[in-house]
A and B are shown apart, each in its own frame.
Chain A
Amino acid sequence: MSDAAIDIDGQGAVTRLGPTVSVATAGDFFSLLKPRVMSLVLFTGLAGLVAAPGVMNPIAAFVALLCIGVGAGASGALNMWYDADIDAVMARTARRPIPAGKVSPQEALTFGLVLSAFSVFSLGILVNWLSAGLLAFTIVFYVAVYTMWLKRSTPQNIVIGGLAGAMPPAVGWAAATGTLDIAPLVMVAIIFLWTPPHFWALALYRSADYARAGVPMMPVVAGEAGTRRQILIYTVLTVLSSLAPVALGFAGVAYLAVAVLAGAGFIHYALAVFRSPGDHKIAMKLFGFSILYLFVVFAAFIAETAFGITPLVAA
Chain B
Amino acid sequence: MTEPEIVPVALTPEQVRARRSRNIALAVILFAMVALFFAMTIVRLGGHAMDRI
Interface of A with B (CB < 8 Å)?
21-27, 29, 57, 59-60, 63, 66, 126
Contacts and interface: CB of A to CB of B under 8 A. Distances in A.
Given A22-B15, A29-B22, A60-B43, 9 more contacts: A21-B19, A23-B14, A25-B18, A26-B21, A26-B22, A29-B25, A59-B40, A66-B36, A126-B37
A21 B15 contact: yes
Interface in B1-32: 9, 11, 14-15, 17-19, 21-22, 24-25
A63 B25 CA distance: 19
Interface residues of B, number: 17
B50 interface: no
Interface of chain B, helix or strand or loop or mixed? helix
B39 interface: yes
Contacts of B39: 59
Contacts of B19: 21-22
Contacts of A23: 14-15, 18
A63 B40 contact: yes
A59 B37 CA distance: 10
B22 A24 contact: yes
A289 B18 CA distance: 37
Contacts of A57: 43
A27 B21 contact: yes
